[in-house]
Amino acid sequence: MKTILFSSPVIALAMALSSCADAGPNANSGAATGALLGAGAGAIIGNQSGRPLEGALIGGVGGAAIGGAYGTAQDQRNRQYNGGY
């Protein structure tokens, strides 16, 4: 049972990061940075309620989504500024 509980966050985080595989460089780095910061913040917040693993999972996935969206917007601005690439 512990193996399933441990592997589920790892799989979810890998899926969130791989969804940016075809994106530009800012989207990829934004998703990775957001996932790391979100997981750290989620673990700290989750620790206060006795559930650091769940907090890290939720924070990591949320951070990856927000960081990826911000990076994608930056990539779109760069394409528009550079006339597309």
Question: Do 41 and 52 touch, CB atoms closer than 8 A?
Answer: no
What per-residue confidence (pLDDT) applies to 24? 76
CA distances from residue 43 to 26, 37, 49, 67, 71 in whole angstroms, order as listed: 25, 10, 10, 18, 24
**Residues of the chain whose pLDDT is less than 50?**
1
pTM value is 0.66
Average pLDDT in the chain: 80
- Give the whole-angstrom CA distance, residue 38 versus residue 49: 17
